[in-house]
Amino acid sequence: MEAKKNSLLIVDDVNANIRILTNILGSDYFIYTATDGMEAIEKAKSYMPDIILLDILMPEMDGYETLKVIKKTPVISKIPVIFITGLDSDEDEEKGLSLDAVDYITKPFSQTVVKLRIRNQMQIINQMRMIESMSLFDQLTKLPNRRNFDERLNIEWKQAIREKTPISLLLMDLDKFKQINDIYGHQQGDIVLQTVSSIFTKALKRPGDMAARWGGEEFIILMPNTPKDGAVDIAENIRLKVEETVIQRNDGPKMNVTISIGINSIIPSIDNTIDNFISEADKQLYAAKAAGRNKVSFQP
């Protein structure tokens, strides 16, 4: 599959400069354009380009003022800005860099210099995104990790309080997973974790629902705007799918595993806490284990 192109927003009040840069960079990147500072800010918010190429000398709002507004606008404040300008004194470059521009390209444009400087910045951006992705996802199962889940739960919790809507949590644990590792080895255990993880993602139909690896053989599912009945239906479906799924073993024969699930559903208020919300789901998980495993447990 072809990699997705990165994107650039070129901001210059001279159309000829926009055409030159588009000719230089258009084959490698998606190009958006703007001819003044306010248009640049609005297009940056709409398109979220990877890099903004920003002219300094523009009427009404020059590049310096435009960059100040960009840095004060949360949704676009982290987009790297490269100044493109005919100003080539050391003082001009120092001023641009002091405002947190990441680079400075002078006119007239050198095709080689422009391409290399944009390429270098894009490499940095893509590397940082890869690092960020690795810090938010479990590398074995490809599910969001606990840090990622905690951030999302905080957002959904506050929204549920504001809108007085139900929020549900499924805390899940693979039954007797230690025995799988002890008997068949950790490689087989990894296969089991990957297999059941795919079941969770297939069971969730709404984009707002989120399954994550909670730690070890524990997983967690967040379902905003979902009452208890809906959470129970999803949990039972997951429990049954896990039980029915045949998993290939390294030594040839196949195996089955089961899962225990604890549910907590609540319409939260400011008197409730996230810790207690999770703790109640954990209690229900232990109740499912105590009832013989391969069970779904919830408060009546």
Active site positions, annotated: 217
Residues 6+ apart with CB under 8 A from 171: 214, 218, 219, 220, 261, 262, 263, 264, 278, 281, 282, 284, 285
